[in-house]
């Protein structure tokens, strides 16, 4: 993949950057600006080099039409606040490629940044029709001279602003994409050992291909979150009212057998925090993992399991973690996630937080980004890379 340096002198050039600025927003307030901050180094680098930086990004799922709930205006404001200390001005266009975008590009000075409105306001962005995507990519390409792909969280999507526009302009990978790929190569090609993978989140079905691929690569898989109850059920244990994917029981049994035959240890919790209802104030109790009452549901791994998982993580040289251990948004069920996060900060080696809910969890629980080796900005993209899939947004960058 070409880098920004390979583009040569960008002073005076209009550089279209695909960033991932898909952050949680409620009542125009950004809940976690991690992805915005992760996009800054590439934008600063280009602006300081004298480029006219035009940023395209998405927010949420507006379903192909303008919706005030999904405007990037609050993101533009935050971006402006973060870039102000660098002396970089941020402008905002009220549409994707229309009159507002075109006039804003014409007025853009060297060293300034322009954020275009939510690219998913245009239905062609996510169209399955190549010609439709291509038409939007043509309009985006007309605004710029070169393209820089820096939204790692979307490189697994064949979308106009990610894939098609890269085929229409000289292109390069931004610093964020290069950093993500470098880390993921370390996880898949030659990880330092012991290599521990921690998987949580709600469903086994979301992680099937990752488990398939990592059983052959990791030394230990630690399983928590809602997905653990399908594993416990597969071992013949009662799981009460806990989240359960009945249709995955045979698959999970297969994983347990495969892991055993390959000498890979699958570590499950020995205790579980349960409650009668999925509510923050529902009375929580700790029970043995093989003795969940029929009228209770599991909402976190228990304290002993938290200590055991933390010990496994702390003793590893390489750790990849994707998915919280429990319902971390509720204080009574955040202990397991907090224990794993704390252990990751103490790893003598590479610790990777795999984006999505895991990234949100560590920040909500008060951990600094710098405490971890790497926090991925792309949960889905990271998982697909670890599954061994080709990611269209990366493959296209390798084309001339």
Tell me which residue has tokens 């895991």: 358
CA distance 75 to 30: 8
**391-400: burial string, b at 16+ Cβ within 10 Å, e else:** bbbbebbeee
Concerning whether 18 is annotated as a catalytic residue, the answer is no
Q: How confident is the model at residue 336 (pLDDT cuts 50, 70, 90)?
A: very high
C-alpha radius of gyration, the chain, whole number: 22
Which listed CATH number (3.40.50.150, 3.40.50.1260, 3.40.50.300, 3.40.309.10) goes with 4-175?
A: 3.40.50.1260
Angle at 110 between CA 108 and CA 114, to 5 degrees: 40
Q: Which residue has the higher pLDDT, 315 or 378?
A: 315
The average confidence (pLDDT) of the chain is: 95
20 is in an annotated binding site: yes
User: For 40-73, how does the pLDDT look when each residue is reduced to its tens digit (9 = 90+)?
Assistant: 999 999 999 999 999 999 999 999 999 999 999 9
The answer to whether the CB of 377 falls within 8 A of the CB of 20 is yes
326 is in an annotated binding site: no
* Per-residue model confidence (pLDDT) at position 359: 87
Q: Among 208, 200, 154, 227, which residue's Cα sits nearest to residue 396? A: 154
Q: Among 115, 2, 103, 119, which residue's Cα sits nearest to residue 58? A: 119
219 is in an annotated binding site: no
* Per-residue model confidence (pLDDT) at position 324: 95
* Per-residue model confidence (pLDDT) at position 202: 87
- Fold identical between 4-175 and 183-387? yes
Q: Which residue has the higher pLDDT, 309 or 354?
A: 309
| Active-site hit among 2, 168, 203, 317 | 203
User: In 10 A of CB 373, how many CB atoms?
Assistant: 17
User: In 10 A of CB 260, how many CB atoms?
Assistant: 11
* Per-residue model confidence (pLDDT) at position 15: 98
| Active-site hit among 14, 35, 78, 233 | 35
Q: How confident is the model at residue 356 (pLDDT cuts 50, 70, 90)?
A: confident
156 is in an annotated binding site: no
* Per-residue model confidence (pLDDT) at position 28: 86
Helices 303-314 and 335-344, axial angle in degrees (round to 10)? 10
Q: What is the per-residue DSSP string for 132-194?
A: HHHHHHHHHHHT-SEEEE--GGGTTS--IIIIIGGGTS-EEE-HHHHHHHHHHHHHHTS--SS
Average pLDDT over every residue of 129-151: 98
357 pLDDT more than 90: no
22 is in an annotated binding site: yes
Q: What is the per-residue DSSP string for 96-139?
A: SSSHHHHHHHHHPPTT-EEEPS-GGGSGGGG-S-HHHHHHHHHH
Concerning whether 203 is annotated as a catalytic residue, the answer is yes
237 is in an annotated binding site: no
User: For 258-300, how does the pLDDT look when each residue is reduced to its tens digit (9 = 90+)?
Assistant: 999 999 999 999 999 999 999 999 999 999 999 999 999 999 9
Concerning whether 380 is annotated as a catalytic residue, the answer is yes
The answer to whether the CB of 74 falls within 8 A of the CB of 32 is no
128 pLDDT more than 90: yes
Q: How confident is the model at residue 209 (pLDDT cuts 50, 70, 90)?
A: confident
Alpha helices in the chain (DSSP H): 34-48, 73-83, 99-107, 130-142, 175-188, 208-214, 228-234, 249-262, 303-314, 335-344, 356-364, 379-386, 392-395
355 pLDDT more than 80: no
Average pLDDT over every residue of 324-347: 96
208 pLDDT more than 90: no
Region of 305 (left: φ > 0; alpha: ψ -120 to 50; beta: rest) is alpha
Backbone φ and ψ for 351, nearest 5 degrees, come out as -115, 125
User: For the domain 183-387, what is the CATH code?
Assistant: 3.40.50.1260
Concerning whether 35 is annotated as a catalytic residue, the answer is yes
Q: What percent of the chain is predicted at pLDDT more than 70?
A: 100
374 is in an annotated binding site: no
- In eight-state DSSP terms, residue 366 is T
355 is in an annotated binding site: yes
360 pLDDT more than 90: no
14 is in an annotated binding site: no
Q: Among 354, 356, 334, which residue's Cα sits nearest to residue 344? A: 354
21 is in an annotated binding site: yes
User: For 215-265, how does the pLDDT look when each residue is reduced to its tens digit (9 = 90+)?
Assistant: 988 999 999 999 999 999 999 999 999 999 999 999 999 999 999 999 999
Backbone φ and ψ for 271, nearest 5 degrees, come out as -140, 155
* Per-residue model confidence (pLDDT) at position 393: 97
397 is in an annotated binding site: no
CA distance 121 to 65: 4
User: For 152-205, how does the pLDDT look when each residue is reduced to its tens digit (9 = 90+)?
Assistant: 999 999 999 999 999 999 999 999 999 999 999 999 998 999 999 999 988 888
Q: Among 87, 94, 92, which residue's Cα sits nearest to residue 76? A: 92
Q: Where are the domains of the chain?
A: 4-175, 183-387
Is 197 strand, coil or helix?
Answer: strand
388 pLDDT more than 90: no
CA distance 148 to 151: 9
Sign of CA dihedral 202, 358, 28, 67: negative
Average pLDDT over every residue of 104-120: 98
82 is in an annotated binding site: no
- Within 13 Å of residue 265, how many CA atoms lie on the same side as its CB? 11
120 is in an annotated binding site: yes
| Active-site hit among 201, 225, 226, 356 | 356
Distances from the Cα of 169 to the Cαs of 19, 161, 197, 300, 338, in angstroms?
16, 12, 39, 48, 45
* Per-residue model confidence (pLDDT) at position 354: 87
């Amino acid at each position: 993949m070409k880098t920004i340096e390979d583009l040569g002198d960008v002073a005076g050039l209009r550089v279209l950057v695909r960033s991932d600025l898909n952050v949680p927003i409620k009542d125009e307030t950004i809940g976690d600006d991690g992805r915005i901050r992760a996009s800054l180094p590439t934008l600063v680098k280009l602006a300081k080099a004298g480029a006219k930086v035009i940023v395209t990004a998405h927010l949420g799922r507006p379903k192909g039409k303008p919706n005030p709930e999904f405007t990037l205006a609050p993101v533009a404001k935050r971006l402006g606040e973060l870039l102000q200390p660098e002396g970089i001005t941020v402008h905002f266009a009220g549409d994707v490629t229309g009159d507002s975008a075109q006039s804003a590009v014409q007025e853009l000075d060297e060293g300034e940044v322009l954020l275009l409105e939510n690219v998913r306001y245009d239905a062609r962005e996510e169209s399955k029709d190549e010609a439709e995507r291509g038409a939007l990519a043509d309009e985006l390409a007309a605004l710029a001279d070169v393209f820089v792909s820096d939204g790692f969280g979307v490189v697994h999507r064949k979308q106009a602003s990610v894939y098609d526009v890269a085929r229409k302009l000289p292109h390069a990978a931004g610093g964020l994409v290069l950093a993500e790929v470098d880390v993921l190569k370390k996880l898949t090609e030659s990880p330092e050992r012991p290599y521990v993978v921690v998987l949580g989140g709600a469903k086994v079905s979301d992680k099937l291909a990752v488990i398939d691929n990592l059983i052959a690569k990791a030394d230990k898989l630690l399983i928590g979150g809602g997905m653990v109850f399908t594993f416990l059920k597969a071992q013949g244990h009662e799981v009460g009212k806990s989240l359960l994917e009945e249709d995955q029981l045979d698959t999970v049994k297969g994983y347990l057998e495969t892991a055993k035959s390959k000498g890979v240890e699958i570590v499950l919790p020995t205790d579980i925090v349960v409650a009668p209802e999925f509510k923050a104030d529902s009375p929580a109790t700790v029970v043995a993992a093989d003795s969940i009452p029929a009228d209770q549901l599991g909402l976190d791994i228990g304290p002993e399991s938290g200590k055991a998982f933390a010990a496994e993580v702390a003793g590893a040289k390489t750790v990849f973690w994707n998915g919280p251990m429990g319902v971390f948004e509720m204080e009574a069920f955040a202990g397991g996630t907090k224990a794993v996060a704390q252990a990751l900060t103490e790893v003598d080696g590479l610790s990777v937080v795999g984006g999505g809910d895991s990234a949100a969890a560590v920040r909500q629980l008060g951990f600094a980004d710098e405490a971890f080796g790497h926090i991925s900005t792309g949960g889905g993209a990271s998982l697909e890379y670890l599954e061994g899939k080709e990611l269209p947004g990366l493959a296209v960058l390798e084309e001339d």
